[in-house]
Amino acid sequence: MIKLDSLTNSIGEWLKGTGPESDIVMSSRVRLARNLAQYPFVGRASDQERGEVQQFLRSRLLQLPSRLSLDYVDVGGLGELDRQFLVERQLISREHAEAAGSRGVAIDTHEQLSLMINEEDHLRIQCVHSGLDLESVWRQISAVDDEIETVVPYAFHSRWGYLTACPTNVGTGIRVSVMLHLPALVITRQIDKVFRSLHKISLAVRGLYGEGSQAFGDFYQISNQTTLGKTEQELIAQVADVVPVLIDYERRARDFLVRETEQNIHDQVSRAYGILRTAQTITAEETMQLLSRVRMGVLLGLLDDVDVSDVNLLLVRTQPAHLQKLRGVELDTKDRNIERARFLRNYFETGSAEAN
Amino acid sequence: MRCQQCDKQAMFHITELETGEVREVHLCEDHARSYLNQSEGASQPSESPGPLGVAQTAEELSELDQKVCEMCGITFFEFRNQGRLGCPHDYVQFEQELEPLIANIHGAVEHTGRRPQRAAGSELPESTESLTRVIGLRKGIREAVEQEEYERAGTLRDEINQVLDNWHAEQQTADGTDSSQPSESPSSS
Ligand SMILES: [Zn+2]
Ligand SMILES: [Zn+2]
């Protein structure tokens, strides 16, 4: 059984802040949807069948020939705080956290792999790496998928491919996504134009979510929309091809801000930093927004006493469930906001989260 | 934030630029998909008024809705309402009905990606369709038990084991391993 508390002190793969283009690309992710041939899909399975699917997959995942070191978490048996915690780390989906019935997730020690059991499909395999690194993500996840397939009869049809509960995922069952930090495109109001051009090539864009499900910061996820009729490599390329363009736009917008509005942008960044260091109570949304500005400021060389890795760490540790787990008590919204402000002040004062 | 068209959480925040005006649309994954397919649809003319992209009268539609999957028992109507299929066999059972829908979503009707390794270079069918029979048999057992027909339940249980054994045997002869046996727990009757 995994010790969720041990995760509290690590940062998680997607916020490590390393890897190619990591000034703009936070993470690269691939997800595969798979189902067992001999069971109804999750939404139509009886409680007993769901329980059997969980047992069947759990026992096989934990005994894969390569001895992948996976820890299994019975999500159905977790309290709300722990489930929320896994969502904040992007190891399970919000839907998986909030669902009912037998369900679980297997997570590898590096938090790169997570395998959700009984989400919308029997098995959802996810692999994430820091920075822009879709190729190695694909290499890793396809090897895991192959290995599972030697011990699990995945539902497959020669014409339709891998069969999924929702026809929108049928075929490859793949979703390829890249998460980007695009503050300069937001500030210069070019982001809408960018989204519009993405829709034209049938890519989806979504914001990241904080407390109360409001979009936060300037983090956006670009992913493919179709799963059938193209190979996995083609679908990966569809996303991968657009990322350098977005990186280029964002870099140009950052350059523009420094060149044309230097004082203004310096002011914005410094104020954001100032609030984070002195606030007495602060919401998760405001924190994300300000951290996003500070992150850009650091990367532009406008703030020299903060590190990008600090900002990445704070992005995850100031989220509600993390905050409560670090504090060791459950807190209501009001107390969380006070605790969050205290945590931030302390962090910037001592330069470490451990001192809290 | 909620989806503008249903109660689910809005996952997609689409910004439309129309005649210089910015309009925000907030949708769940499913509604965003149909929304985006719609706005893209200009290049794929669908003359049909039917939700499935084929010409349908109300009568034809209600007839279609009554089609049932013989394995999991889902009706096409239930699928249309929930947007989720009941079991892998549905792709065979409703193949004709699903085809225009899938074509509409993906702009394609044929998988070209990876295929199961187990079937490669052997006589084995790639499709796992034969295994889906277990779903129907399991449903039969539940019904038999409800009606206290325990003997029938036992027969069905034997049939399940037969299907699983056959599958297992096929796999074994194919690659000499016995790893992919989908075992059935006896407690499930
Ligand atoms: Zn909706
Ligand atoms: Zn079915």
Domain shared by A235 and A333, yes or no: no
Domain shared by A298 and A211, yes or no: no
| Res A195: pLDDT | 81
Q: For tokens 């300069």, what's the residue?
A: A184
Q: Which of A56, A156, A205 is the best mutation test for B, with the most CBs of B within 10 A?
A: A156
Instruction: Estimate the crossing angle of helix A320-327 against helix A80-88, to 10 degrees.
Output: 120
Last residue of a domain, one of A213, A233, A253: A253
Domain shared by A213 and A191, yes or no: yes
Where do the H-state alpha helices sit in A201-332?
A: 232-278, 284-299, 308-317, 320-327
Domain shared by A228 and A278, yes or no: no
Count of CB atoms situated within 10 Å of the CB of B141 = 21
Last residue of a domain, one of A222, A253, A284: A253
pLDDT, mean over chain A:
90
CA within 13 Å, CB half, B29 = 14
**Token pair listed for A121:** 């499909």
| Res A335: pLDDT | 96
Which residues of B fall within a CB distance of 8 Å from A226? 105-108
Average pLDDT over residues A323-335: 93
Taking only the tens of pLDDT, chain B with its 189 residues reads: 777 888 777 766 665 544 444 456 777 777 777 776 655 433 333 333 344 444 456 777 777 788 999 999 999 999 988 899 999 999 999 999 999 999 999 999 999 999 988 766 666 778 899 999 999 999 999 999 999 999 999 999 999 999 999 888 887 766 555 445 555 554 443
| Cβ proximity of A90 and A84 under 8 Å | no
Say how far apart CA B182 and CA A37 lie, in whole Å: 9
Domain shared by A23 and A149, yes or no: yes
Domain shared by A280 and A301, yes or no: yes
Say how far apart CA B110 and CA A226 lie, in whole Å: 12
| Res B17: pLDDT | 45
Domain shared by A115 and A223, yes or no: yes
Is A103 exposed, middle or buried, given 0-12, 13-18 or 19+ CB atoms closer than 10 A? buried
Which residues of B fall within a CB distance of 8 Å from A36? 182
| Res B187: pLDDT | 46
Domain shared by A294 and A220, yes or no: no
Say yes or no to pLDDT of A64 above 70. yes
Domain shared by A342 and A283, yes or no: yes
Domain shared by A247 and A310, yes or no: no
Count of CB atoms situated within 10 Å of the CB of A330 = 13
pLDDT confidence tier of residue A310, bands split at 50, 70 and 90: confident
Domain shared by A272 and A249, yes or no: no
| Res A341: pLDDT | 97
Report the separation in Å between the CA atom of B68 and the middle of ligand 2, taken as the mean of its atom positions. 8
| Res B75: pLDDT | 95
pLDDT in tens, A212-256: 444 567 888 899 999 999 999 999 999 999 999 999 999 999 999
| Res B47: pLDDT | 36
| Res B19: pLDDT | 42
pLDDT in tens, A74-107: 999 999 999 999 999 989 999 999 999 999 999 9
Domain shared by A52 and A87, yes or no: yes
| Res B30: pLDDT | 77
CATH of the domain at A196: 3.30.590.10
**Token pair listed for A145:** 């998928």
SS3 A71: strand
Average pLDDT over residues A48-62: 96
Phi, psi of B45 (to 5 degrees): -60, 125
Amino acid in the structure at residue A230: K
Considering only A16-25, A36-45, A97-106, A168-177, which range has the smallest mean pLDDT? A16-25
Q: Greater confidence, A350 or A238?
A: A238
pLDDT in tens, A289-303: 999 999 999 999 999
| Res A355: pLDDT | 41
Which residues of A fall within a CB distance of 8 Å from B117? 146, 149-150
Cβ separation of B113 and A46 shorter than 8 Å?
no
pLDDT in tens, A172-199: 999 999 999 999 998 888 888 888 888 7
Last residue of a domain, one of A253, A282, A307: A253
Which residues of A fall within a CB distance of 8 Å from B131? 37-38, 153, 155
Report the separation in Å between the CA atom of B88 and the middle of ligand 2, taken as the mean of its atom positions. 6
Count of CB atoms situated within 10 Å of the CB of A293 = 27
- Interface check A256 vs B, CB under 8 A: no
| Res B189: pLDDT | 38
Cβ separation of A202 and B1 shorter than 8 Å?
no
Enclosing domain of residue A315: 262-355
| Cβ proximity of A22 and A9 under 8 Å | no
- Give the total number of structural domains in chain A: 2
| Res A190: pLDDT | 87
Q: Which of B87, B115, B159, B188 is the best mutation test for A, with the most CBs of A within 10 A?
A: B87
